[in-house]
Amino acid sequence: MTSRSPSLRKTLAPSLALAALLMAAACASSPTRPPVSIGTGQPRVDPVTGEEITDPSQIAEETGTGAFGKDDGGLTPDFMYGRDVKRAAVLLPFSHPTANVRAEAEAMLAGIELALFENAGTDFLILPKDTAGRASTAEARADEAIKEGADIILGPLFGAEVTPVKNAVTRKQIPVIAFSNDRTVAGGGAYLASVMPEEEVVRIMGYAASRGIRTFALLGPDTAYGKQIDTAMRAEALKNGWTVIGTSLYDPAASASTQVSGIARLINAERAQVGLILPERGNKLLSIAPLLVVNGVDPGRTKFLGTSLWDDAAIWREPALAGAWFAAVDPDNMTAFKDTYRRVYGRAPTDLAAAAYDAAALAVTLAGENNIKHGGVTDPDGFMGVNGLFRYRLDGTSQRGLAVKEIRSSGASVVEKGVTRFPPGSS
């Protein structure tokens, strides 16, 4: 599996509609310039299902056997031989012991394949490698990728894998675009492609402040995620001179009634309008929101605020959440991607599949510019992907142009779109 690209499978190539979505955003301080597409503009031509294949190099690619370039260890298919081929190693946990993780890895690989279908010509190759979710294995796969001429690493998935991978490729100055949301592993040549919880907090608090809400509180799970949101909330409030009246964290496996009543007392004692951040999902959120109302929290005075965990139609009918705001990727950018992914693979994409698509499309773009290097990845103008506008900071974290949605009786509607250009200068 690790010696050939799976991107040329016998399947109908998806439409090229997404190519128009992937454009670099121009810097506001520089002269206006046309957006630059993420991708080479040379979509691959793939055999149609059932089509007779008679060319030996096609057979080799489809079966994983047969004629390959003879002087590079058999890594390059014949139809790419003699070209200036750029290679992206894909490090994901395909054999992880947890079925859900294996499924996520396959969904992400599908997103990467789709990006190649949409954007890559015949001079870009992916090298999928199984990390099994183990740091030591991820490091070994990174070593292999270096020997096989990888120009960029897409992955790994878990934070514990990122540091050994970036350490393995540091001397070669190979960028690592990882999919962890643990910002402590960012930097040192590793860039985090996931939508960071901190970015969602910054977005939703900024929107609330623009509507006159500058006092905040948090009720969330006593988990790494809940603490991550709390830290981000306090940092953003300190930066802007806003007020935080308190945080209450509950055991995610137990009732949150005690914590709900405690945070309700704090909110009800406030004269100012409060923005209450609820970083929760599903049934837990559906039990907490009405319980807050029962404890005297008036949604007319207290605005419930959420993260992208709320981008779930199953929670939008809860009356206590009516009028609540949450940060999410702009749906305008996702619609075509979701439709094409579902048509090609017969299932809906995961959030990380979209992140993987953007990472691969970015790699293809930089390859076309002969700019797969740290300076290319951290272009301050940023890029427009299916997850909206994004750019990588020098510290390895990402900045995003997220939208804000409001929950209404008809569903969740965008009340403020994400920005399409970043301000001038570095993030």
Which tens digits make up the pLDDT trace of 274-297? 999 999 999 999 999 999 999 999
- Give the residue ranges of DSSP H helices in 19-172: 56-63, 99-119, 135-147, 159-169
Give the 3-state secondary structure percentages of the chain, helix then strand then coil, rounded to 5.
Answer: 40, 20, 40
Can you name the residues that pair with 383 across neighbouring β-strands? 24, 390
349 has pLDDT over 90: yes
Angle (CA) 352 142 387, round 5°: 20
229 has pLDDT over 80: yes
Average pLDDT over residues 361-382: 95
Q: Which of 2-6, 83-87, 174-178, 179-183 has the lowest mean pLDDT?
A: 2-6
d(CA 182, CA 197): 9
415 has pLDDT over 70: yes
The structure's pTM equals 0.79
d(CA 48, CA 348): 22
Cis preceding linkage at 331, omega within 30: no
Name the phi and psi angles at 218, rounded to 5.
Answer: -140, 135
Contact status, residue 321 vs residue 309, Cβ threshold 8 Å: no
65 has pLDDT over 60: no
325 has pLDDT over 80: yes
